[in-house]
A = this chain, B = another copy of it.
Amino acid sequence: MTQVTVWNEFRHERHDNTVAEVYPEGIHIVIADALSEAGFETQTATLDEPDHGLTEAVLDDTDVLTWWGHAAHDAVGEEIVDRVCERVREGMGLIVLHSGHYSKPFTRLMGSSCSLKWREAAETERLWVIEPGHPIADGVDEYIELDDAEMYGERFDIPAPDTLVFTSWFEGGEVFRSGCCYRRGNGRIFYFRPGHETYPIYHDESIQQVIANAVAWAAPGDGPTPNFGNNESIEAIDGSDDRTVH
């Protein structure tokens, strides 16, 4: 059974009444509950726990990590960032949500600034499915409509995704690549745009469906673990066994 760790910065919810009304127990609880209901084994971790809740032991029990952060990206320690990125390269899935675009793990795995345009105007967003044949679009209509969304607009400074699953339309005139698949090392990464601390977006069933699909897609497989480094000892191919190995 796929094990998911739902990570949340979990500060807005404790210090801001508007946010607390939407997510009284924290964004992570709403996401974890939805994923449990979808059949995953879930645990949560938050910034202000020791090791931000992401000890080696917790990550040993994590097939897929979801990440929501916003105001305290800098408070995430370098050691934990290295640990998370290393796990991704070893095969752990990573689902990066909304303002997590600026998180240390995501920007480091992308190698780009991950900057974008934004506007808080409670405007309509439509997430159009661009690749209906991709498993992350399973069970979704041609588009998901959100009545009140924060706008994120292009240019989104990311590497071109391996697969672009969703593109968002915003009432105010912008578009955004809002569902992006990547591989880094043996691990799979999905960036998914929707979500904001003051809009109840993670309560939306279609959004929950996409996150569950993404977790299933990002779960580690059983492919080979590459050997790196000096490869002198490879079994000789006929005809090349007479070469001089320095």
Task: Bits for A144-178, please: 1 = Cβ < 8 Å to B, else 0.
Answer: 00000001011101011011100111111111010
CA distance A16 to B151 in the complex (A): 42
Residues A231 and B118 in contact, CB atoms below 8 Å apart: yes
| A interface SS class | loop
Residues B157 and A228 in contact, CB atoms below 8 Å apart: yes
A219, closest chain B residue (CB): B135
Given contacts A131-B183, A185-B112, contact A171 B239 (CB under 8 A): yes
CA distance A113 to B184 in the complex (A): 9
Number of this chain's copies in the complex: 4
CA distance A61 to B117 in the complex (A): 30
- A108 interfacial contact with B, CB 8 Å: yes
Q: Could you list 18 A-B pairs, sorted by A, with CB under 8 Å? A: A89-B113, A108-B111, A111-B184, A117-B229, A118-B231, A121-B232, A121-B245, A124-B237, A128-B175, A132-B155, A132-B226, A133-B183, A155-B226, A160-B164, A164-B164, A172-B240, A174-B231, A239-B239
What residues of chain A have their CB less than 8 Å away from a CB belonging to chain B?
89, 91, 108-113, 115-124, 126, 128-135, 137-142, 151, 153-155, 157, 159-160, 162-164, 167-175, 177, 182-188, 220-232, 234, 236-240, 242-246
